[in-house]
């Protein structure tokens, strides 16, 4: 709570952290012919493991519902497989039906409900995709 009061909803994330996420994780984007952003996927490596955490995923507002999210997820799965990654984790708001449907469509399963994961009353589903 204190951190949110002090730093806002970003929880203290700053440019330095963002640069390290980009350098030491994987950031994939899907662009159209005019190089405009359609979808973005942000993965973070898990130290010492063949696993990554998908900490950010979104499709540009006006491009939603056109299949781009699914395309980008499937393409990133292929690329991560080539990097010997075996498993992807993510957490999602249990009310975010769109995202949950999308993740299920590309093979994620709900592993557990994490109570109060991001503070009191803020639950998350932990979802896992096996790449093997
Ligand atoms: C969730 C989100 C990434 C989906 O991206 P998208 O590019 O619109 O998704 P797609 O068009 O590829 O759809 C893939 C699947 O998602 C589900 N889906 C997408 N839009 C949906 C909607 N409005 N209602 C229900 N399910 C939906 C469907 O299962 C769909 O498959 P289908 O078209 O074969 O039925 C997008 O809505 C978004 O950016 N939301 C805000 C950010 C967010 O919530 N990110 C996830 C955080 S974990």
What are the DSSP calls for the chain, one per residue?
-HHHHHH-TTTT--HHHHHHHHHHSEEEEEE-TT--EEEEEEEEE-TTSSEEEEEEEEE-GGGTTSSHHHHHHHHHHHHHHHTT--EEEEEE-TT-HHHHHHHHHTT-EEEEEETTTTSTT--EEEEEEE--
CATH code, domain carrying 41: 3.40.630.30
The residues lining ligand 1, judged by C-beta closer than 6 Å to any ligand atom, are 39, 57-59, 64-70, 92, 96-99, 101-102, 105
Give the pLDDT confidence score for residue 16 in this predicted structure: 76
Q: How many domains does the chain have?
A: 1
Kindly state whether residue 14 falls inside one of the protein's structural domains. no
Cα 119 to averaged position of ligand 1 atoms, centre (Å): 25
Kindly state whether residue 48 falls inside one of the protein's structural domains. yes
Atom of ligand 1 nearest to the CA of 99: 1
The pLDDT averaged over each successive group of 10 residues in the chain (132 residues) is 49 70 85 95 92 95 97 98 96 97 98 94 97 96
- State which of 74, 98, 105, 122 you would mutate to test the pocket of ligand 1, scoring each by most atoms of that ligand within 8 A of its C-beta: 98
Kindly state whether residue 114 falls inside one of the protein's structural domains. yes
Kindly state whether residue 8 falls inside one of the protein's structural domains. no
Kindly state whether residue 4 falls inside one of the protein's structural domains. no
Q: What's the domain range around 59? A: 26-130
């Amino acid at each position: 709570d204190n951190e949110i009061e002090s730093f806002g909803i970003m929880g203290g994330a700053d440019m330095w952290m963002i640069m390290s996420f980009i350098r030491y994780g994987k950031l994939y984007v899907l662009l159209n012919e005019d190089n405009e952003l359609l979808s973005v996927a942000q993965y973070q490596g898990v130290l010492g493991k063949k696993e990554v955490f998908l900490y950010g995923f979104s499709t540009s507002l006006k491009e939603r519902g056109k299949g781009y999210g699914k395309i980008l997820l499937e393409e990133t799965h292929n690329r991560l497989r080539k990097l010997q990654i075996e498993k992807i984790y993510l957490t999602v708001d249990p009310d975010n039906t769109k995202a949950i449907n999308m993740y299920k469509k590309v093979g994620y399963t709900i592993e557990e409900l994490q109570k109060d994961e991001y503070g009191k009353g803020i639950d998350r589903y932990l979802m896992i995709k096996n790449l093997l």
